[in-house]
Amino acid sequence: MTLETISEQKCFGGVQGVYRHDSAETKTPMRFAVYRPPQAEAGPVPVLWWLSGLTCTEENFITKAGAQRYAAEHGLMLVAPDTSPRGLDLPGEHDDYDFGSGAGFYVDATEAPWSAHYRMYSYLLHELPALVAAQFPMDPARQSIFGHSMGGHGALVLALRNPDRYRSVSAFAPIVAPSRVPWGEKAFTGYLGPDRAAWAAYDATALVPESGWRTPILIDQGEADTFLDTQLTPEVFADVAGHSGVSVTLRLQPGYDHSYYFIATFMAEHVAHHAAALTERLGP
């Protein structure tokens, strides 16, 4: 596994890096960002995965969210991947902001031509963790995940389908019921085909009842977010989770919109939420 360093810069005593590798899952070069906290110099540290929303690359989070300060305080590594394969030119791939490039929706596509490359679910569950564990001082036994909007959807789906992999999950303005909202219906039709039965594997609200998820889920949602009622609908997830015995803290934040200004405002609390789970001693 060859890793190319794009940049490395000192940040809050640690190192913010951007890297590129050839992905076996997407059959494209993929970029991702890793923040190594100062504690990583002494040995492996827990890792907190961040998944971004529509139109983002690996850059938005590391330049706008302000998470490095809190990761350094708690001794957590942050990893932020890109949101889709890049460098392809599939038919229509770059036409819309909510489908194709920048909009991989963290699924393994089954519909041609996307199925050959748009395999972000497997990329994030298998390939990238193996690469990061091999190349950086990451403790694979301590992983958590969070994200924004489409990335909140990805974080919830990865966590709910893999409760033994991740200790905690949180989200900012997540898409929680993609099978029922226009962004999700468009993406899932394109990537997974018209059979809605196949969509449930990537729908947090459909997954949560049988997920076996155990730790409290934190969701922050701006009340002035213009996507709230049409695309995000967090109360739908909170209701179903509540009836399934999964604890969800849904915080509606007055005046906040969908932007990284909102994310940055509540970032400290999300990193602390994960740090508590990642540094808790498990077992006897």
Ligand X SMILES: N[C@@H](CCC(=O)N[C@@H](CS)C(=O)NCC(=O)O)C(=O)O
The reply on whether position 55 binds ligand X by CB under 6 A is: yes
Q: Catalytic pick from 74, 117, 148, 258?
A: 258
Q: Tell me if 260 contacts ligand X by CB under 6 A.
A: yes
56 binding ligand X? (CB under 6 A):
yes
Residues 6+ away with beta carbon under 8 Å from 244: 208, 209, 211
Short-list 53, 64, 67, 6, CA closest to 32: 6
User: Do the Cβ atoms of 265 and 256 come closer than 8 Å?
Assistant: yes
Region of residue 100 (phi > 0: left; psi between -120 and 50: alpha; otherwise: beta): left
- Is 225 one of the catalytic residues? yes
Contacts of 62 (CB under 8 A, 6+ apart): 16, 18, 33, 35, 68, 78, 80
By CB under 6 A, the residues from 78 to 97 that bind ligand X are: 97
- Catalytic, 149? Answer yes
User: Of 164, 151, 175, nearest to 230 (Cα)?
Assistant: 175
Residues 184-213 that bind ligand X (CB under 6 A): none
Rounded to a whole number of angstroms, the minimum distance from the CB of residue 56 to ligand X is 5
Choose which of 17, 46, 53, 85 interacts with ligand X (CB under 6 A): 53
Instruction: Give the number of other Cβ atoms within 10 Å of residue 213's Cβ.
Output: 25
Find the shortest distance in angstroms from Cβ 42 to ligand X.
Answer: 33
Instruction: Report the nearest approach of ligand X to the CB of residue 232 (Å).
Output: 10
For residue 153, count other CB atoms closer than 10 A to its CB: 31
Site for ligand X in 146-175 (CB under 6 A): 148-150
Beta strands in the chain (DSSP E): 4-11, 14-22, 29-36, 45-51, 77-81, 138-148, 166-172, 217-222, 248-253
Cis peptide before 113 (omega within 30 of 0): yes
Report the C-alpha gap between 62 and 41 in whole angstroms.
20
User: Nearer Cβ to ligand X, position 60 or 215?
Assistant: 60
Within 8 A by CB and 6+ apart from 2, the residues are 21, 22
Distance in Å, CB of 142 to ligand X, minimum: 27
Residue of 84, 149, 168, 170 marked catalytic: 149
Q: How many residues bind ligand X (CB under 6 A)?
A: 13
Residue 139 falls in the annotated catalytic set: no
Within 60-79, which residues bind ligand X (CB under 6 A)?
60, 64
Is 228 a residue that touches ligand X (CB under 6 A)?
A: no
Q: Which of 225, 270, 273, 274 is catalytic?
A: 225
**Contact pattern from residue 230 through residue 259 relative to ligand X, giving x for each residue in contact according to CB under 6 A and a dash for the rest:** ----------------------------xx
Position closest to ligand X via CB: 53
Q: Is 265 in the site for ligand X (CB under 6 A)?
A: no
By annotation, the residues acting in catalysis are 149, 225, 258
| List of residues contacting ligand X (CB under 6 A) | 53-56, 60, 64, 97, 148-150, 258-260
